Structure 1
Amino acid sequence: MGKRNRNFKESIRYFFLKYTVISLILVYPLFFAFMVIILKINTINNTKQATNDISASLEHVYRNYYDEINKMSNSNTVINLINNRLHSNTIYDEFYKFNINQKVKSVFYIVDNDGIFLISTTTADDEISKPIVENITLRAAEKPNEVIKQTDIVNYSNNKETVYTFAKSVKDGNGKIVGCLIYQLYEEDLQQLIRVRGNEIAVVTDEYSNIIVTNNNSVKGLMNKFIPKYYYKDKYVNLDVDKYYINKKALSTVPIYVYTLNTIEIKNMIFVFYFLFLIIVSIGFWFLINYFANRMSSRNTKSIDTLILSVNELQNGRMNSYVDIKSGDEFEILGNQYNIMLDELNALIKKNEELFSLRRIVEIKQLQSQFNPHFIFNVLETLRYSILIAPKEAEEIVIGLSKLLRYSVNYKGQKVMLRKDLEYIEDYLKLNKHRFNDKLKYNIDIYEGVKDAYVPKLLLQPIIENSIKYGYLDKDIIEINVAGELNDGIITLEVKDTGTGIRKEQLDNIRRSLKESENITEHTGLYNIHRRLVLLYGGKYGIEIESIFGEGTNVKLTIPYEKSDI
């Protein structure tokens, strides 16, 4: 029987299903092993973290009570109470201010040498007071310079229980013991302190393994002691029928030990859920991989259809007919190259549109500048006086203004010979010369070989206009020099003036704006010239500005030499 022939689409579907099923068969046991390891690591980390958290909390509680009992035992108010029975209210206030800020609350006593309870924050009958007098006060008297700490379980009538005691003798100014201070900590508050999220069992013992507090009574042995049954390197214990990971830590300031325990056995129910999960996931995967196999097998055909559709749309003038092919093969490369080609085409169109728009803006701005009512008014005022005083000069003004307006309005080309543009500049400067007389001096020194170059129309006029417009702000007389030369196929044109100049901050803003794709300053003329040159000739051409405030401004313009066809 011959081998079955499959087409390209069927082959993709077959191999996808084959290798996916193999992968799933390998993943299931790995997933189970990973789950067991993660559960164990998580148990160990939770146990250790719980130990650290509980230890830190107990350290804080211990330090607070240790400091407080030392402070109170040296208090003159306490000594006066014991000796003279004075200021009991003050001591009650001190205790309640301290106690209310503690996570673990306590019962407070002051007992004199005769066993009389001078201060008691709860009702203490003989069953409670007698052990205190016969045990705690005697131990404190034996070590008068130390704080006595011991595990004591005391049941009170209000159904509360204390489990740990701090005590210290009180001495008068002569060093004589006059009484004893006692703090007994409530079990219910310690219970809250050892309840840590992610931990099952917590046990706190003293140095003799006596349980101070625990959240699970099953750990209590004979005489209220906790003696864990280790079975592996002091890390694992048997408790009832379960196995637990155990972590132990001693408090740094007192021989109190914190034990935290978490079970490490994976319950049978987890295995049941695991296999149910595998069955459900397997069924779901079977339908899912069949779906994806069909999708993948038809993707290449879809990629080709997408490309053909986009090319047809492009032919019909839709310039945004991009393709989005994520096949990861040669079709994706082809689609990316098509998108790059479309980007370049759109960029070229946008560049031409922007260049055309800038040219129109420059021409409109120049027309507005020439027909600016203020400028026309000043010229006509000069003309009115010249008709009476200097008819010859009036004739020159009329001719110059006529030529200026005719050039601005009638000349349609985007590029002109520099010689033609210089005639316009000459007329413009002459008109301003008539206005300002000796207050304006100018000189045009352009290399003759440059004058036949083909340049953008109205190239220098906005620069010269700025020199006149801003140059007289703080100056009575300004001089404008226009120069041009040709070096290695590059034309350099300079407009220098001796006007007011530009402040450094403003100059920095202008230079920064020339690097942007959109104008961010009010200097429209300079920006439009620079942007138009960049679009026409490239980024290395355009405008450079140098200026010293109070001395003048130098604007340098560079463009490639382009010989006129005329």
Structure 2
Amino acid sequence: MKMKRFEHNIRKELIKGSLITIFLMMMLAVVLLGVYRVNMRNHRLNNTTQTFAQVVPETLSTIDQKFYRTNTDLIEQYISGAGSIETSQIYRLFYSFNSQKQIKSDLLLFDNNFDVRLSTNNAFDDNYAFHNYLYIVTENEKIDGFQNLVRVFRANNGDTYLIYLHPFLEDNEPLGYGVSVINGKELLPIGQDVLASYVIYDNYSNVLSSNTDQVYRHTGKLEQDIFVKEGAQAGVLFNDYKLFDNLTVRAFLSNEPQMTVLVSSVVLLIVATIFIVLFSVYFSRRVSARTGQSLYFLNSEMERVKSIPGYLIKIKTEDEFEHLADDINNMVEELRTSHANYVKLNQLSIDMEKKKLEAQFHPHFLANTLETIRSAMYIDTELANEVLLRMNSLLRYSVDEQNEGTTLSEDLEYVKNYLAINEIRFEDFSYELLVDKKLNNIIVPKLFLLPLIENSLKYGFKYRRDLKVKVTAKLTDETVIIRVIDNGHALEDKDREKVTKLLGQTEETSYHHGLKNTKQRIQLVYPNAEFNLFSKMSCTVNEIRIKGGKYV
């Protein structure tokens, strides 16, 4: 009975929620369409024109106030040649100013004969059409007095430039001119953020910049005939804003008939409403039945998980509840595994710290080395001093806890000290280090090879006094291979299998803990690292394989 009531409530709520949602969506859609037609169009057009109305005049005003007027005396002295102003000084002033601006410009300085005194762009040095254009513009403007001029110039390569001309006067006569040139392409990044298409043009329909090429000819002239007056039949809606007397920004949008959009939207909403209502009734019946059954079954399985240790949920419904049950099972297993790993790692950390404090080196090594130092003090003080320094360096490095990880090259320097001390202690002992320079900066645990070397010395000296230990490191097919080889005695197969089996065990052992320590430490840094032990040409080989590797 409870099951049926639950299913009925789900079905009822689904249908009611669907109807309310559909109604609200229709009302909202109608309102949004009206708001969009009334406000959005003007907002997009005004946003575009106001963006350029702020940026372009502000840019030219900044150039005039913070460069030309701030540095008027220096520039006038440079143009007239009356002072000792260096060209490099003007360059520094301009580049320091220009580097702080979002819209970059070029600078040209002319004297009163319109000869170039300075140019920051070689493209304008010998551009006679550009120079002639500036000369004609200034001559025409002399009738109205000398003023700052804003013009648009189109070069032969199709580029258009915004020209800002600032006269420098002396007794109301032109001493020279400063010309700031802004490529129209500098305005394109600003046009990427506006909400409508735009075009900036002058009184002669010369286009300075636009984010679409559909409104101007290949000659760079604005196609005025594609714009008609705003009205019901308007193909393009636009809004003009005068940036300067002869420079205008026009924002425009394509005009969609209002009734067409409204009717189409309403028809689609009605069709969608009918379909959703019918589907909601059918879907609610199926969902309520399956959800109710699956939910109650999942609840009973969860009770078993809580009461039966190791129990996992068993649901085969081929829907979201089955995936949910699998996720719960995975989470439970991960929690159990994480707990076991935490206990294991915590114990391992305690054991490793204990071993580190109790026996960084084999006590016999320390005792024998001190005895060697004592004896050498009476025979060869320099030798005693060398052994003492090497042992001091090695001990300091081993107890330094600032950084557990280090590079292979640095670590081998201290391993070399250990081997050198043993070379002094045992006359017939020798060692060799062969390391690929590409592996110098690979990250390794500190003194991770020392247990392997100690093991080679411990068992190797049992068979021969002329023991030789060889440490190699090479890179083969993106795999790092590190080996510790000794010629003491070839390890027999049964012994190798015994040690290999021992290294694969997780519980603690009373012997070969040095080898296990090395394996565990290297696998904490490289979980996929392999540890191999084998014999080759009467030698015992300890091998570590690392795929990839971490470098500093």
TM-score normalized by structure 2?
A: 0.42
